[in-house]
Amino acid sequence: MTKPEWQKAAEAADASAAPSEAAPKAAQKAAPEAATKKVRGKPFVKGKSGNPAGLKPGTRHRKTLMLEHMSDDDRAAIVSKIIRQAKRGDRPSQKMIVDRIEPPRKGRAAPFSLPPIKTAADVVGALATVTAAMAAGKISPAEAVEIAAVIETARRAIETQDVEVRLHALEERFK
């Protein structure tokens, strides 16, 4: 009587493996599929979703649902507890309250006026105005960088327009 191929492969693997790597007896008696090759890494097909239909329309996150079901009494109790913790010196609670009262500033209008930028030469004057405002303390260095980026975008747009006009003139000349 001959042994099945999967049993021969399992015995050969056991013989070549170190004693600490030997498979348990239950694995040796497993089905032939289990004794072949163990899938490692990412067994899923690349680019194919496990849930191609996605979430059903209108599905909401569990936290959103929990907040909706919270009653006004619960909200009041939570807010009062956060306030009590903040008064006792709890830094995260204090930060939470301050962030809600006065959220971090996301940007503001520049407190000075830029000269009009019509040509590439006007860019130099605009950058000089930004530098002077930063030096005078009217704007922060971070705000100066953001304004300079806007000026740079305007410069590139002007140069692109100039190149198009020059190219069109050359094409007309050589027709």
- The pLDDT tens digits of the residues spanning 48-106 come to 887 888 888 888 888 888 878 877 778 888 889 999 999 999 999 999 888 888 877 77
- pTM score, whole prediction: 0.42
Rounded CA-CA distance 111/126 in Å is 14
Confidence at residue 10, expressed as pLDDT on a 0 to 100 scale? 58
